[in-house]
């Protein structure tokens, strides 16, 4: 499934705020969830009508990747539904940045692994 520039959000929250981050993410329509051997919580959700993969690491690093749509659509959803919602809960987000990634072949499967490999 080709996409037109998935949005990749990188942010950092205090480790003490991770429970708040998880609670927020669980409010969305969860499609799949797993915890890796390294303790990374990976959740696939539908946010604002877009499929999104979210990874939450024990050190507070949050990565969210839209799986369809345009970069602008994805960034708007991630900013409104994750960043602003966390700020309203009192979670301080730092090192926030958005990146655009394009994949012409099997975008939903590759976007997450490609963005993770670049870190």
Tell me, what CATH number does 63's domain have? 3.30.310
Give a yes or no: residue 1 inside a domain: no
Provide DSSP, 16-84.
GGHHHHHHHHHTSEEEEEEE-TT--EEEEEEETTEEEEEEE-TTSEEEEEE-SSBHHHHHHHHIIIIIH
What pLDDT digit, counting tens, does each position of 39-76 carry? 999 999 999 888 999 999 999 999 999 888 888 999 99
Q: How far apart are the first and last CA of the chain?
A: 24
Give a yes or no: residue 92 inside a domain: yes
What pLDDT digit, counting tens, does each position of 84-115 carry? 999 999 998 899 999 887 655 544 454 455 45
Say yes or no to pLDDT of 117 above 90: no
Q: Which phi and psi (to 5°) does residue 58 adopt?
A: -60, -25
Give a yes or no: residue 83 inside a domain: yes
Structural domain boundaries, residue 97: 6-117
Say yes or no to pLDDT of 2 above 60: no
Count of the separate structural domains present in the chain: 1
């Amino acid at each position: 499934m080709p996409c037109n520039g998935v949005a990749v959000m990188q942010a950092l929250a205090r480790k003490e705020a991770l429970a708040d981050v998880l609670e927020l993410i669980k409010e969305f329509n969860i499609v799949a969830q797993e915890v890796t051997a390294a303790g990374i919580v990976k959740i696939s959700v539908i946010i604002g009508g877009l499929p999104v993969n979210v990874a939450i690491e024990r050190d507070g690093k949050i990565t969210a990747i839209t799986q369809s749509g345009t970069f602008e659509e994805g960034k708007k959803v991630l900013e409104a539904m994750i960043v602003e919602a966390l700020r309203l809960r009192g979670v301080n987000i730092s090192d926030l940045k958005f990146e655009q990634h394009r994949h012409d072949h099997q975008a939903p499967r590759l976007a997450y692994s490609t963005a993770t490999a670049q870190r």
